[in-house]
Structure formats: C-alpha cells, structure tokens
C-alpha cells in the first residue's frame, strides 16, 4: 500500500475527529493502489459509519472502469481505540476485504490498523507500505 494512501486515510480522520470517516480501498493482485473517500451516511456518525448504497454502487462502477477491485473498507474510531467493535464484526459483510480502522489521535501507537473479519473471526493484518 502506498504511503500516500495511509496518509490520506489518517488526514481524513483527523479533519473531523469527532465523527467516523469512511471509504473504500481498491487495487489489483492484493495491492491497494486507490482510495475512495466516502460520506458517512449513518444516523449517528459519531458512533458508527455507513456508506450509502448509491455511493458504493458508483465507486464499484469506477473501479470496474479502471480495471481494479475493492480490496478494503476503512473507517475511523473517534475514541482512538482502533480495533474492531462488536458492531464492526457484525457488519463485516465482505469477507475478502481488509477492514482498516484509523485512530485520529496524535498519540496513537498504530494510527492505522487492518483486520481480516470473516464470520466473526478477527485477525490483525500486517500493513506493508511502499
């Protein structure tokens, strides 16, 4: 994953640290090469995130046109604890995607973390930046 994508996710989370930012990540052959920031359509964006179905559809269309596929979904946790919440685990509908969780806090030891979430099983993934 290019460093500029990690930086872009972190910058998005820090612009509005009181709400959960979100978006999609795409690329090919397991390498993330593109970020698609999204609007948080959740009823309470301070405690959850949701990408509107119309926006997901539009981003997927862009990905197909560029010959890339969705590889990840990201969001932030305003409280800074960037590990999957029970809600994150319950709503992990894309078992092949990596779930990135960002802490907007300056003091966060690992401000961006990634996880595989499949049928309730959570495993932290190593992020390799280039």
Q: What is the pLDDT of residues 16-74, one digit of tens each?
A: 999 999 999 999 999 999 999 999 999 999 999 999 999 999 999 999 999 999 999 99
Domain of residue 109: give its range. Answer: 3-125
pLDDT of 57 reads 96
pLDDT of 116 reads 97
Total tally of structural domains belonging to the chain: 1
Q: To the nearest whole number, what is the mean pLDDT of the chain?
A: 95
Please, which pLDDT band fits residue 112 given cuts at 50, 70 and 90?
A: very high
CATH number, domain containing residue 112 = 3.40.140.10
pLDDT of 79 reads 87
Contact, 104 vs 129, CB < 8 A?
no
pLDDT of 80 reads 72
Question: Using CA atoms in the order 100, 103, 107, 108, what is the torsion angle rounded to 10 degrees?
Answer: -30
Does residue 130 fall inside a structural domain?
no
């Amino acid at each position: 994953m290019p460093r500029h994508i990690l930086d872009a996710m972190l910058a998005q989370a820090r612009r509005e640290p009181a709400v959960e930012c979100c978006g999609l990540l795409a690329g090919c052959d397991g390498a993330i090469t593109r970020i698609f920031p999204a609007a948080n359509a959740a009823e309470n964006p301070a405690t959850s995130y949701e990408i509107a179905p119309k926006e997901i559809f539009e981003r997927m269309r862009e990905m197909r046109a560029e010959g890339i596929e969705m590889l990840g979904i990201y969001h932030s946790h305003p409280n800074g604890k960037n590990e999957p919440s029970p809600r994150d685990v319950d709503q992990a509908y894309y078992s092949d995607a990596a779930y990135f969780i960002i802490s907007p806090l300056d003091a966060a030891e690992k401000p961006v973390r990634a996880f595989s979430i499949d049928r309730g099983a959570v495993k932290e993934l190593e992020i390799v930046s280039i």
